[in-house]
C-alpha cells in the first residue's frame, strides 16, 4: 500500500489543498491512469466506510480501533522525517486504507477486468499474405505484445482506416491501460454501423470495469444488443455488478 498517496487523496477530498496543489493533483489524475484508478477506489472505500456502520456507537468503536491500529503501524516508521511532520489524522487516514481494503474486498466481491480479459485473436491476415506490416501487427497482437502492436496499428491506420483495424487497435490500447485513446476508438466504432459496433460497446464497458468505474460499466452493458455473440458474458457481468 502506498500510504502517502492515500494521504494525498484524503487532502484533496477534504478540500485541504491550495489552489496550486489542487490543479497539480488534478493534472496528475488526468495523465496517470493508474493514479486515477487508485483514487476512484479510494473514494469508493471511503463511501463504504461512511455507510458500513449503522449506529454512531459502532462508528466510534471502529474509530478507536482504527487509531490504535494506525499508531501501531506508523510507530515502526518514525525514523522518516516526512511522516513525523504529518498530523495524527493523516496517520489514521493512511492506516485506514490498509484495514478498509481488506474489509471492502472481503464484503464486496466485485468482478475484475482480468475475469473477462479474453481478446479474440486477430485474423485479418490470410496465410501467404505478403503485407509485412499487417502480419507484424497481427502477430504482436495474438502474442499478447500489445505495446508493440499499438504503433504498428497506428501506421496501418494512416492508409487502411477500417473498422476491423480500429477495433484491434482499441483493444491493444485497452490492454495497455491507455483508456482515453481506447475509449475514443470504441466510441467511434459505436457511432458507426460496422459488425464491430456491439464488440466496441463490450470493450468500452470493460474499460470502465478495469478502471473500477462500476456504475458506468453497468450503464454501457445495458446498451448492448442481445444479438451480440457473447451476450452471455454481458449478462454474467451485469449479475456480478448487481
Instruction: Say which residues have a Cβ less than 8 Å from residue 129's Cβ, sequence separation at least 6.
Output: 135
pLDDT at position 53 is 47
Q: What is the pLDDT of residue 59?
A: 52
pLDDT 10s digits, 136-174:
999 999 999 999 999 999 999 999 999 999 999 999 999
The tens digit of pLDDT for each residue in 116-137 reads 999 999 998 765 566 889 999 9
Global pTM reads: 0.59
Residue located via cell numbers 487497435: 169
Distance CA 102, CA 106 (A): 6
* Rounded distance between C-alpha atoms, residue 14 and residue 5, angstroms: 14
Ordered structural domains, the chain, with CATH: 3-107 (no CATH), 113-241 (1.25.40.10)
Q: Tens digits of per-residue pLDDT, 25-68?
A: 898 888 887 788 888 887 777 666 655 544 445 555 555 555 55
- Tell me the per-residue pLDDT of 88-107, one tens digit each, with 9 for 90 and over: 444 455 555 555 555 444 44
SS (H, E, C) 70-133: HHHHHHHHCCCHHHHCCCHHHHHHHHHHHHHHHHHHHHCCCCCHHHHCCCCCCCCCCCCCCCHH
Reply yes or no on whether the pLDDT at 197 is more than 60. yes
Q: pLDDT band at residue 216, thresholds of 50, 70 and 90?
A: very high
Cβ atoms of 170 and 189 closer than 8 Å: yes
**Region label for 212, one of left (φ > 0), alpha (ψ between -120 and 50) or beta (otherwise):** left
- Report the C-alpha gap between 100 and 184 in whole angstroms: 34
Amino acid at each position: 500500500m502506498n500510504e502517502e498517496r492515500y494521504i494525498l487523496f484524503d487532502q484533496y477530498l477534504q478540500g485541504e489543498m491550495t489552489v496550486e496543489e489542487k490543479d497539480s493533483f488534478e493534472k496528475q489524475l488526468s495523465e496517470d491512469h493508474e493514479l486515477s484508478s487508485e483514487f476512484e477506489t479510494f473514494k469508493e472505500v471511503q463511501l463504504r466506510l461512511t455507510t458500513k456502520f449503522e449506529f454512531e456507537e459502532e462508528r466510534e468503536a471502529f474509530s478507536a480501533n482504527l487509531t490504535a491500529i494506525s499508531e501501531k503501524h506508523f510507530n515502526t516508521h518514525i525514523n522518516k522525517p516526512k511522516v513525523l511532520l504529518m498530523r495524527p489524522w493523516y496517520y489514521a487516514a493512511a492506516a485506514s486504507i490498509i484495514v478498509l481494503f481488506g474489509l471492502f474486498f472481503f464484503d464486496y466481491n466485485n468482478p475484475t477486468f482480468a475475469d473477462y480479459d479474453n481478446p479474440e485473436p486477430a485474423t485479418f491476415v490470410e496465410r501467404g499474405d505478403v503485407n509485412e506490416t499487417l502480419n507484424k501487427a497481427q502477430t504482436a497482437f495474438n502474442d499478447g505484445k500489445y505495446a508493440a502492436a499499438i504503433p504498428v496499428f497506428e501506421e496501418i491506420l494512416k492508409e487502411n482506416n477500417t473498422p476491423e483495424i480500429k477495433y484491434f487497435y482499441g483493444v491493444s490500447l485497452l490492454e495497455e491501460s491507455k483508456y482515453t485513446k481506447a475509449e475514443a476508438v470504441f466510441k467511434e466504432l459505436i457511432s458507426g454501423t460496422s459488425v464491430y459496433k456491439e464488440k466496441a460497446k463490450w470493450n468500452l464497458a470493460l474499460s470502465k470495469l478495469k478502471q473500477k468505474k462500476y456504475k458506468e460499466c453497468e450503464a454501457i452493458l445495458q446498451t448492448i444488443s442481445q444479438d451480440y455473440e457473447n451476450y452471455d458474458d454481458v449478462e454474467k457481468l451485469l449479475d456480478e455488478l448487481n
